[in-house]
């Protein structure tokens, strides 16, 4: 059974599944990079008219659409595609061998603290809204992150970034001065 939840971004919708969608964490796929995608489920979903971006997570996927298509036409297509996949496959869409993200391997204590705060305090809240936040770098007091899924291009994401993420990181990691999205 697939359920949907709205997100703060009106152009994104979160599709919740009882079955595991990803065992490798969160991965984002963009229509603009469709040719680089090798996963048939993702390729087909990106080919739907109006689908701009999808984010796969452990038990949900988020779809960000363009303005040219309505949720009334797109939502049943996404639900049907998900149901069809799980009727024919008894395994997650993203499995271990499909990991594309480069994990940050850093012995820097400050970076490790930043990543821990992102993972434990921020990522769960962002996931509730159908998105994800990825650590990219820390230099001269500035943390650079990438907002993904529903958070990408969301009208309230800048406020979330400055008031939520920045304040939390500054509170827990004294070396942090500001946070920027890349």
What per-residue confidence (pLDDT) applies to 138? 92
The per-residue pLDDT for 99 is 46
Helix (H, G, I), strand (E, B) or coil at 28: strand
Domains of the chain by range and CATH?
A: 2-98 (3.30.1370.70), 109-181 (3.30.300.130)
| pLDDT of the residue at 158 | 66
Q: Which residues of the chain have pLDDT under 70?
A: 97-107, 153-155, 157-158, 160
> In this structure, what are the phi and psi dihedrals at residue 46, rounded to the nearest 5 degrees?
-65, -20
Whole-prediction pTM: 0.73
**pLDDT (0 to 100) of residue 130:** 79
What would the two tokens of residue 55 be? 């984010």
């Amino acid at each position: 059974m697939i359920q949907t939840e709205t997100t703060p971004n009106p152009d994104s919708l979160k599709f919740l599944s009882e079955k595991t969608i990803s065992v490798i964490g969160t991965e984002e796929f963009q229509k603009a990079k469709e040719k680089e995608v090798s996963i048939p489920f993702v390729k087909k979903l990106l080919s739907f008219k109006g689908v701009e971006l999808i984010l796969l997570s452990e038990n949900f996927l988020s779809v960000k659409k363009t303005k040219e298509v309505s949720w009334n036409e797109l939502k049943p297509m996404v639900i049907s595609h998900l149901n069809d996949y799980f009727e024919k496959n008894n395994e997650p869409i993203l499995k271990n061998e499909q990991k594309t993200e480069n994990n940050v391997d850093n012995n820097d204590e400050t970076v490790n603290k930043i990543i821990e705060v992102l993972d434990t305090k921020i990522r769960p809240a962002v996931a509730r809204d159908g998105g994800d936040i990825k650590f990219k770098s820390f230099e001269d007091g500035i943390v650079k992150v990438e907002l993904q899924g529903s958070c990408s291009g969301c009208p309230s994401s800048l406020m979330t970034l400055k008031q939520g993420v920045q304040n939390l990181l500054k509170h827990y990691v004294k070396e942090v001065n500001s946070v920027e999205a890349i």
